[in-house]
Amino acid sequence: MKPTELSIGNLVVITDKVVKVEQITKHKIGYHTKSNETRMNYARLCEIEPIPITEELLLKCGFDESCDEVYEREDFEITKEGDEWWVSWNGGCDYWFAIKHLHQLQNAYYLVTGKELEIKL
């Protein structure tokens, strides 16, 4: 992954464990393994794995399935076409773009709404 793909608060996988990005540098990220931990842990970008978008994950992000493979939340709509997920907002078909991973959805949601995407993992 590239550091420009990530934002503070993104969820990623490091050594089979989901962690929240707390700090981003040119070659690594900082994260905590426990919520009350004060010591920052670091992982190189090559050690980070993105979390793939799934139907189950979208439901944990507060999206509702409105019909087969169409998920909605507020002004967002996510549609699955084959192996690809497509995001639209404000109900406008002019704004479609493809995503594959949770951090991409988190970033898009924040850019459009100004709010963090709540995820119940």
Spatial contact of 21 and 12, defined as CB atoms under 8 Å apart: yes
77: phi > 0 → left, psi -120 to 50 → alpha, else beta; which? Answer: beta
Residue 52 clears pLDDT 90, i.e. is over it: yes
Written as six digits, the tokens of 106 are 């988190």
* Dist CA 18 CA 10 (whole Å): 10
The pLDDT value recorded for residue 27 is: 93
13: its two tokens: 């996988």
The torsion region of residue 46 among left (phi > 0), alpha (psi -120 to 50) and beta comes to alpha
Res 34: pLDDT:
83
pTM of the entire predicted model: 0.89
How confident is the model over 56-85, as pLDDT tens digits? Answer: 999 999 999 888 888 998 778 899 988 889
> Distances from the Cα of 42 to the Cαs of 11, 21, 24, 48, 112, in angstroms?
14, 10, 9, 11, 29
Q: What is the pLDDT of residue 91?
A: 58
pLDDT tens-place string over residues 1-51: 888 999 999 999 999 999 999 999 999 999 998 888 889 999 999 999 999
How far is it, in rounded angstroms, from Cα 78 to Cα 30?
30
Q: Angle at Cα 50 formed by Cα 23 and Cα 19, nearest 5°?
A: 45
